[in-house]
Structure 1
C-alpha cells in the first residue's frame, strides 16, 4: 500500500469524525469537508480548520472524556468511590482497582488516545508545509500558526492522559504511515522521555497560539478552542507530573529525574498566566458550575474555564454521559418510574465532612438528593438521600440549560462539557511549585487564598500564616481536594505525590468509624489525615453528627442550607421530632449489626482490590499486546498484572 493512500485513509477517518460537528452552532461551528486527500485538506484555512476539529473530536465520546477517561478511570480516591456491586470485567473494576488486561472497557480509550495522537500528527506534519503558512495573508498565517500550535497541544494532552494511566508507552511522534515503514512495532519508551518531548512541543505551541483577548484580532471567533493560557496551564500540569512520582516498570514508585527543573517550568508557566490578567475566578463557585458549565456557554467572561471538551449530537462518538453516569438520578413524577442514571460516582462520607460548614463548594460538589422530573419536562423536585448515596454534583441534570426536551430526559447523553483545566487549578499549581522551589512565600499564600476567598466569600478562612514548607504542602493537598473534587484530578495528584496508598488506607480507617455505635449513637473520633490538613474541629467527634436528616418534601430548590432543602444541620444532632413539611431520612445508619452499618455499605465497594506498586497504573489492554504479534516483547505488561 503506497504512502499517499495511507495518508488519504487517515484523513478520511478524520473527516468522518467532523460530520457530526456542523450543527454545533454556538461552539466549534465548522462545516465538514466533503473531499479528502492531503492536497485538498491542507490547501485552505477552512479545510485545515475542519481537519483540526477532527483532532479535537477525539477528546469526547464514550471512550474519551464523555465517560471512561473521566468517570471510570479517575474514581476511587479519598473523594469518591464507584457503584455498588462486585468486579464485573467492565466499569465496576476501575474504582475497585480490580481491572484486568481483558477488561471490556479499557481498550477503546487506549485506542482513541492514540487515534487522537495520529490525527494530531497529520496536522502537525502538514500545516507548516502549506504554502499559505509562509506566503498567505497576515491573518491566514496567524490562523494557521494557531492551528499548528493547537495540534501540538492536543497531541500533548492525549499523550499526558495515556501516560498517567499506563506509564511508559511507544513514541508516536510521526504520522502512522511513516512509522509503519520505520518501526511498525515500537518499544515502550520511558515516560520521562515522552514527557520531555511534549513539554518541548508545548513550549513551541505557546509561541504560536494567541492569548484569549487576541483571538478576534486574527479573525477567529471566541469559542472553546485552545488559547495561550491553556497551553501554558497544560505545560505546568505536565511538568508537575514529570517532577512527581509514578509507578515504574521495575515495580516501584519513583520520582522523575531533576524535579526542580520541572517545578520551575510549572512555576514560570502559571506565573505567566497569573500576571497576564487574561484569566480570573468567577466570583461565585455555584454560578461557575450552574450557569457557566450547566448553561453550556461558549464564552466564559472570566476565562476560568480554560480547556473544556465540547460534546454534541447524542452519539457515543461525540457526546457525553456526564450527568447520567454521574450526578443525581432522575425519575418520572407521574409514575415514580423510569429511573435513569447509572449512579457510578459517589461522594465518600469522609470527603463530605472535610468541608467547612460555610464552604460554598460543598453544596456544589456534594449532592444528597435525587431528582424527580415534573410533567412539564423542566421542573425537578428533590428527594433526600442518605450519606451513602451522596452524588457528585458539578454536572447535574437539573442544572443543564437548556434542559433536555420533555420525554427525552432518559437519554444517556447530555451535552455537558467536561472541564480539563480551570484557572483555580492554575493558582493552586503555582502555589505548589512556588512552595517546592522557595517555600511558602507571600505569592504562594496569595494564590491559595484567592481560591479560598472565593469559596468562603471572605478572608476569614485564609490558611494560617507562618507555615513550614511541609505544612503548607499539607494545606495545598487539602485545598486541591476541596476545590477540584470529582473533576478527575485527585487520583493523579495523589499518585504524583506518592500518597494514593496512604490516602486510601487512612480513608478506610475513618470510614470504618461510621459503623462504630453504642446501638443508639454513633461513637468515635475521626483521625486527622497524616498527608494533608484535616477536618474542621467540630466534625471530629462523630457523636455530634446527625443520624437523621430532615428534607423538605417536594421542593424544586437546590439550596442545601438550613431552611432550603434541609431543615437541620449536617454538623449537629438531629431534632427529636420531625419538622413540619419534611421527610425523615436515615443519614447515618445506626445498628449493632456490623454488616448493615453505613461503614459496611461504603467499604463494600471502596478500593477493595487496591495493591500498592500495582494499582497506580492500569494494565496495558491485552488486545494492544496481542496486536504486536511476534513483537509482543516490545510491549511488556505493567507490574503486577
Structure 2
C-alpha cells in the first residue's frame, strides 16, 4: 500500500513540477486513501515534506538558494568550478526566463507546497481513534508553517504567484492552469498560516526525536520577518519582542557554537535545515561547494566563492570572532600535514572537520532563522518607528558584543542606524541565504548601487525579482510574465 502511494505521489510531483510530460492523461489521482491512515503514517508523511527543504542534490536549502539566488548579490559569485552556464549567468546578472535554476526554484517550491497541502487535508481526515488529537493538530500546524515559508520565498522571488491551497488530485486543465494571485493576496495567506501556527508548542517541550520541527517560536519569528519585509514595522517589532521575551531563546556564548554539530537545534536555533552526513546522503552540500579544491585530501568543489570586490571580508574588524568561523585563509592537508594558504578567503561556516575528505557529507545545519536575526529584526523595526532608541541599540549591540565587535554608541541618525543594521545582518548571516532578500527589500536604487559598487555592472531594477520561468509560461497559458521582465 505504501509503495502504491509513493508511485502516485511521484507522478503528481513530476506533472506539477513540469519535469516531464506524461504520455497519458489520467483524470483523477487519489492519494490520502492509500496512506495517512493513522498517526505513524501522518508523522511519516509530514517528515517527508520537511525533507523537501534539504534533500540531497540541489534542493532548496541544500544549495539551490545559493546558486539560484545569492549569486545575484554583491557578496557571492560563481566559483572556479561552477561550470553550469545558468549559474554563471545569475552571478553575472545575465539570467533570463529560460534559466534552469529559476525553473527549479519554482518547481521545488510548488512541489513542497503541494505536499504541505496534502498533509493538511489528509491529516485532518484521519479518524479520531487512529491519532492523538494534540498530535493531529500539531502536524497540521507544522504543515501550515512550511507552506507559509515556501510562499514567503516565492512571493519575494517572483512577485505575484499562483496561490494553491489544496493538493493537486486531478490532472484537469481547470485544476492545473492557475492564474497568479497578487502579492497582497499571497502575503495575506502567509500571515494567516503563521498566525495559526503560533499555536504550536514551544521548542523546549519537544523530545529529542522532534527537535528541528516547526515550533511556536519559529512561527512568530518568521511572521516578524514577513511583517518587516512588508514594512509593517509596528507588527514586526511587536512579534520580534514576543519572541525575545516569551519564547526562551538566547544567543550561544560563542559564535562558533552556532555551527557546532554537537549543539545543533540549541537555544539560538529557531528553525534550521537539518543535515546528517553519511545518512541517506543527507549532507550539507554548502560545505563541499565552498571548500578548497586544490588542497590535497580536502577535495572541495569551490563552486561558491566570495565576491571579493564586494568588500564583505574587509568590512569585519580584526577582532571579530565571526571572521575565522565564516571564512578560512588556508587549511592543513590531511594527506601531507602541510598548511596551504589560499589566494582569497573562502567560506568556512559549514566545513565539517569530521569528514575532511568528503565535505558533501557535512552534518552542520543551515539556519533558516535564528535568534540573532530576531534581535536584528527588532532593532531595525524599532529604529523605523522610534529612531535609534536605547532598545534598538541594545538589540543590535547584543549581537555585536557576542562577536567582540565595537559597540555602537552616540547620537546616530535613523539613516545611519538603518545602514548599521543591514551591515550587521550582512556580517552575521553571511552564507545563510539572506543577502539577496536584504538587498531587494531596500529597493532598486539600493540594490543597484551596492552591486555596481561591487563591479556587477549589469544590475538593473528588474533584478528585484526573478523572471517567471519560461517553461511554466509555456505549460500554463494563464500565467503571465512579471512586468519587469517583459521584453528582456
TM-score by length of 2: 0.86
In structure 2, how many angstroms separate the alpha carbons of the residues matched to 1:121 and 1:8? 18
Partner of 1:624: 472
Does structure 2 retain, via aligned residues, the 8 Å contact 1:434–1:444?
Answer: yes
Deviation, 1:437, is 2.0
Q: Which of 238, 242, 246 is residue 268 of structure 1 equivalent to?
A: 238
Report SS of the residue matched to 1:502.
helix
* Structure 1 unpaired stretches of 5+: 15-35, 244-261, 509-606
Residues 87 and 93 in structure 1, CA contact (< 8 A), matched pair in contact too: no
**Cα deviation per residue 1:391-442 (whole Å; 9 max; x = unaligned)?**
122112xxx15325xxxx2574534422111110010001111111222222
Alpha-carbon spacing, 1:81–1:411, altered in 2? closer, same or farther (3 Å): closer
**Which residue is equivalent to 1:566?**
none
Q: Give 1:129 deviation, angstroms.
A: 3.0
Residues matched between the structures, number: 462
Distance 1:317 1:238, change over 3 A: farther
8 Å Cα contact 1:330-1:371 kept in structure 2: no
Q: Determine the C-alpha separation between the residues in 1 that align with 2:429 and 2:97.
A: 30
Matches within 5 A, 1:3-402: 9-10=8-9, 37-39=31-33, 41-61=35-55, 62-84=58-80, 89-132=85-128, 140-177=132-169, 180=172, 182-207=174-199, 209-216=200-207, 221-243=209-231, 262-289=232-259, 292=260, 295=261, 297-300=263-266, 303-312=267-276, 318-329=282-293, 331-332=295-296, 339-348=299-308, 350-370=311-331, 372-374=333-335, 381-386=338-343, 389-396=344-351, 400=352, 402=354
Say if 1:637 and 1:478 are closer, same or farther in 2 by CA, change over 3 A: closer
In structure 2, C-alpha distance between the alignment counterparts of 1:313 and 1:87, rounded to whole Å: 25
Partner SS for 2:40: helix
Residue in 1 that maps onto 2:398: 450
Tell me the CA shift for residue 315 of structure 1: 9.6
What is the DSSP-based 3-state SS (H/G/I as helix, E as strand, rest coil) of the residue aligned with 1:189? Answer: coil
From the superposition, tell whether residues 485 and 130 of structure 1 become closer, same or farther in structure 2 (CA, over 3 Å): same
Alpha-carbon contact 1:329-1:371 (below 8 Å) kept: no
Give, in angstroms, the shift of residue 111 of structure 1.
Answer: 0.7
Tell me the distance in 2 between the aligned counterparts of 1:431 and 1:136. 46
- Deviation, 1:298, is 4.6
CA 1:118–1:368: 2 relative to 1, 3 Å: same
Is the aligned partner of 1:615 residue 2:460? no
SS where residue 295 of structure 2 aligns?
strand
Q: Do residues 639 (structure 1) and 475 (structure 2) align?
A: no
Deviation of residue 54 (structure 1)? Answer: 1.2
Q: Deviations over 1:39-58 (max 9, x none)?
A: 46333221100000111111
Q: 1:91 to 1:370 in 2, by over 3 A?
A: farther
Paired residues of 1:325 and 1:343 also in contact (CA < 8 A): yes
In structure 2, distance between residues paired with 1:85 and 1:390: 16
Q: 2:451 aligns with which of 470, 494, 504?
A: 504
Q: Secondary structure in 1 aligned to 2:230?
A: helix
What's the offset of the Cα at 1:324?
A: 1.5
**Are 2:271 and 2:369, in contact at CA under 8 Å, matched by a contact in 1?**
yes
- Taking structure 1 as the reference length, what is the TM-score of the superposition? 0.66
CA gap 1:317/1:172 in 2 versus in 1, 3 angstroms: farther
Gaps of 5+ in 2: 14-29
SS of the counterpart of 1:306? strand
Task: Give how far 1:371 is off.
Answer: 5.1
Q: How far has the Cα of 1:265 moved from its partner?
A: 2.2
Mark the CA change 1:401 to 1:38 in structure 2 (over 3 Å): closer, same or farther.
farther
| Corresponding position of 1:521 | none
* Residues 470-507 of structure 1 deviation map (CA, whole Å, 9 limit, x = unaligned): 22212111111121122210111111011211211233
Once residues 165 and 428 of structure 1 are traced to their aligned partners in structure 2, the CA distance between those partners, rounded to angstroms, is 22
> Cα distance 1:322–1:186, how it changes in 2: closer, same or farther (>3 A)?
same
8 A Cα contact 1:172 1:179, kept in partner:
no
Q: Distance in 1 between matches of 2:361 and 2:88?
A: 20
Taking the aligned partners of 1:190 and 1:281, their CA distance within structure 2 comes to 37
Tell me the distance in 1 between the aligned counterparts of 2:278 and 2:159.
32
Matches within 5 A, 1:532-611: 607-610=456-459
1:168, 1:191 within 8 Å by CA — same for their partners in 2?
A: yes
Q: Classify 1:186/1:12 alpha carbon distance in 2 versus 1 (closer, same or farther; 3 Å).
A: closer
Report deviation, 1:136: 7.2
Secondary structure of the residue aligned to 1:385 is strand
**TM-fit CA distance, 1:306:** 1.4
Question: Given the alignment of the two structures, is residue 462 of structure 1 paired with residue 417 of structure 2, yes or no?
Answer: no
Contact 2:82 2:88 in 1 (8 A): yes
Q: What's the counterpart of residue 429 of structure 1?
A: 377
Q: What CA deviation, in whole Å up to 9, does each residue of 1:66-114 have, x standing for no partner?
A: 1111344213433333325999632212221111222233322321110
Give secondary structure in 1 for the equivalent of 2:463. Answer: coil
User: Bigger radius of gyration, 1 or 2?
Assistant: 1
Contact 2:285 2:360 in 1 (8 A): yes
By how many angstroms is 1:282 displaced? 0.5
C-alpha separation in 2, matches of 1:122 and 1:56? 13
Q: Which has the higher helix share?
A: 2
Q: Quick one: distance in 1 between partners of 2:186 and 2:6?
A: 24
Contact in 1 for aligned 2:74/2:307 (Cα 8 Å): no
Question: SS of 1:419's equivalent?
Answer: strand
CA distance in 1, matches of 2:292, 2:118: 41
Contact 1:7/1:177 (<8 A) preserved: no
1:238 CA drift (Å): 1.8
Q: Per-residue displacement from partner, 1:542-578 (whole Å, max 9, x unpaired)? A: xxxxxxxxxxxxxxxxxxxxxxxxxxxxxxxxxxxxx
**Secondary structure, aligned partner of 1:323:** helix
CA distance in 2, matches of 1:128, 1:40: 15
